[in-house]
């Protein structure tokens, strides 16, 4: 099979441009070039082709080939009598997120689906990438290098799952059970205390905690890319790495520092749950159209629970801090009227048009599968432990999901009640019917009561009239306390 040879030039980085060249052999009269409309892990049609400029194709005879735009993601190329095609184009990138390109005089973050066109018939072809960068810039990626200092991927999907960062960075070695590194780009806040040893130690403990919970690391090594920027937050998971965006004040307070650890823990856990434990629509998908599933509550809800649970079980945070995080989410959920209108399954299915496209009415009509999903998983974990007298927990569900599906590369079913019941030995129809397929709140207060904690909502009666919680009016009233 023909190999795909990419080359990246960053001579015009100060203008937010990257020049891309692609060479491949052909044996057909026409070739389709495609650009993804979305990326795995972020469920919104982003139409990355809108950033492509100056596309031209030249044959091995030196003649320019006719290129016709067929639709918003596809170009048709006249390849008659050619043995090889050279595709050249420019990418514009000036949006600093984890799912878009950001290119300037300081660095280049290249998100695969937003960067690399590919011939539609060669999605499975092996790939190599050469990066021509300034001498004082470092290329960071979890992709393998060949002997010729080129990056290698087994196919386009693997290429897209390995973002590339080029620029000056600080790299910390993380002494976990497998080789892990934390690569930091961007300046921290002036005067901010940053204990590199502490961060590396904390991250190693979190990595090892996740590995111990499932019993195996799914990756031979792992790279955390952390980009620091003001007013920025986000993360995107990949099979052997993650991209994380956080504000430079992360060392300024306990809350900010723990928030950073929680973000890194979340994206790391996706290496198991999301990248390998996933439903069929996210195993076999088309980059040009939506991939619908009703299971994002598992991918993100289970991950939202374990991202902070791992901080506690690895002794990175106190029990009090863990409960504060849970109760902050509980208060947010109770302040979301839409939780009574949309189920977790419906929220998952409509992510493409609801969660990722919010408007001023969303809070009244929708619920986040991150937020409610995480709370349902925490309450369910408490219930499982109570009903089995400590013999089983949510960890048993995770391990079954991993062993039966993730570890062997098989998609899990859309309906997961049976998996949860098999792992725990419990009948769980009530939870699934009411809280996952239905719109009931998780049984958090009841389950906390069984472990000696009382959950009480408090609000100033003068501020809250009868029925005030029915619609969100732009203000959050009241709070939540835990005693016990």
pLDDT for 297-356, tens place per residue? Answer: 999 999 999 999 999 999 999 999 999 999 999 999 999 999 999 999 999 999 999 999
Please tell me the predicted confidence (pLDDT) of residue 216.
93
Range 292-300 average pLDDT:
98
pLDDT category at 455 given cuts 50, 70, 90 is: confident
Rounded percentage of the chain residues whose pLDDT exceeds 70? 93
Whether 218 contacts 271, CB under 8 Å: yes
pTM above 0.85, yes or no: yes
**Order of all β-strands in the sheet with 222-228:** 170-175, 179-185, 222-228, 241-246, 234-237
pLDDT for residue 2: 86
- Region 371-399: mean pLDDT is 98
For residue 130, pLDDT beyond 80: yes
What domains appear along the chain, each with residue ranges and CATH number?
A: 4-93+110-137+153-162 (2.60.40.3650), 272-483 (1.10.390.10)
Determine the average pLDDT of the residues in 404-426.
98
Average pLDDT estimate for 128-140: 94
Could you tell me the two tokens for 203?
């991250």
- State yes or no: pLDDT of 194 exceeds 80: no
- Residue 190's pLDDT band, with cuts at 50, 70 and 90, is low
SS3 259: helix
Q: What are phi and psi of 346, to 5 degrees?
A: -70, -40
What pLDDT shows up at residue 187?
79
Between 464 and 320, residue with greater pLDDT: 320
Asked if residue 473 has pLDDT above 90, the reply is: no
Q: Higher model confidence: residue 239 or residue 146?
A: 239
In this predicted structure, which of 32-41, 160-169, 224-233, 246-255 has the lowest mean pLDDT? 246-255
Residue 458, pLDDT > 80, answer no
Share of the chain above pLDDT 90, in %: 87
Q: What is the pLDDT of residue 192?
A: 58
348: helix, coil or strand? helix
Mean pLDDT of the chain: 92
Q: Please state the rounded mean pLDDT for residues 448-476.
A: 57
Strand order in the sheet with 74-78: 67-71, 74-78, 30-34, 118-119
pLDDT tens, residue by residue, 150-189: 999 999 999 999 999 999 999 999 999 999 999 999 977 6
């Amino acid at each position: 099979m023909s190999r795909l040879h990419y080359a990246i030039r960053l001579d015009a980085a100060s203008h937010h441009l990257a020049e891309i060249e692609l060479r491949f052999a052909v044996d057909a009269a026409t070739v389709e070039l495609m650009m993804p409309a979305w990326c795995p892990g972020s469920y919104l049609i982003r139409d990355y082709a809108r950033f492509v400029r100056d596309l031209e194709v030249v044959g091995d005879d030196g003649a320019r080939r006719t290129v016709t735009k067929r639709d918003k993601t596809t170009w048709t190329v006249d390849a008659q009598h050619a043995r090889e095609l050279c595709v050249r184009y420019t990418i514009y990138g000036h949006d600093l997120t984890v799912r878009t390109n950001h290119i300037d005089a300081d660095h280049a973050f290249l998100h695969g689906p937003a960067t690399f066109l590919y011939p539609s018939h060669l999605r499975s072809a092996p790939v190599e990438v050469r990066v021509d960068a300034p001498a004082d810039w470092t290329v960071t990626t979890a992709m393998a290098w060949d002997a010729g200092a080129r990056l290698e991927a087994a196919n386009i999907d693997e290429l897209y799952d390995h973002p590339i960062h080029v620029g000056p960075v600080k790299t910390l070695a993380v002494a976990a059970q497998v080789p892990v590194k934390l690569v930091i780009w961007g300046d921290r806040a002036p005067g901010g205390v940053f204990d590199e040893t502490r961060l590396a130690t904390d991250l190693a403990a979190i990595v090892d905690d996740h590995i111990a919970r499932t019993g195996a690391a799914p990756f031979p090594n792992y790279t955390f890319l952390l980009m620091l920027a003001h007013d920025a937050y986000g993360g995107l998971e990949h099979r052997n790495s993650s991209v994380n965006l956080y504000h430079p004040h992360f060392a300024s307070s306990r809350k900010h520092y723990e928030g950073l650890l929680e973000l890194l823990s979340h994206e790391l856990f996706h290496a198991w749950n999301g990248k390998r434990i996933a439903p069929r629509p996210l195993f076999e998908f088309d980059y040009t159209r939506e991939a619908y599933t009703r299971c994002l509550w598992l991918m993100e809800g289970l991950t939202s629970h374990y991202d902070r649970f791992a901080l506690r079980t690895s002794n990175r945070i106190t029990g009090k801090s863990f409960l504060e995080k849970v109760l902050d989410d509980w208060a947010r959920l109770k302040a979301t009227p839409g939780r009574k209108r949309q189920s977790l399954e419906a929220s998952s299915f409509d992510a493409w048009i609801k969660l990722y496209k919010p408007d001023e009415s969303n809070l009244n009509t929708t619920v986040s599968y991150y937020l409610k999903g995480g709370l349902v998983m925490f309450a369910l974990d408490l219930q499982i432990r109570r009903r089995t007298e400590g013999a089983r927990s949510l960890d048993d569900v995770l391990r079954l999901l991993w062993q039966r599906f993730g570890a062997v590369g098989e998609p899990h079913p859309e309906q997961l009640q049976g998996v949860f019941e098999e792992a725990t030995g419990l009948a769980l129809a009530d939870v699934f019917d009411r809280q996952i397929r239905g719109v009931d709140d998780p049984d958090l207060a009841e389950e906390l009561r069984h472990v000696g904690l009382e959950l009480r909502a408090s609000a100033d009666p003068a501020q809250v009239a009868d029925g005030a919680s029915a619609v969100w009016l732009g203000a959050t009233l009241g709070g939540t306390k835990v005693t016990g």
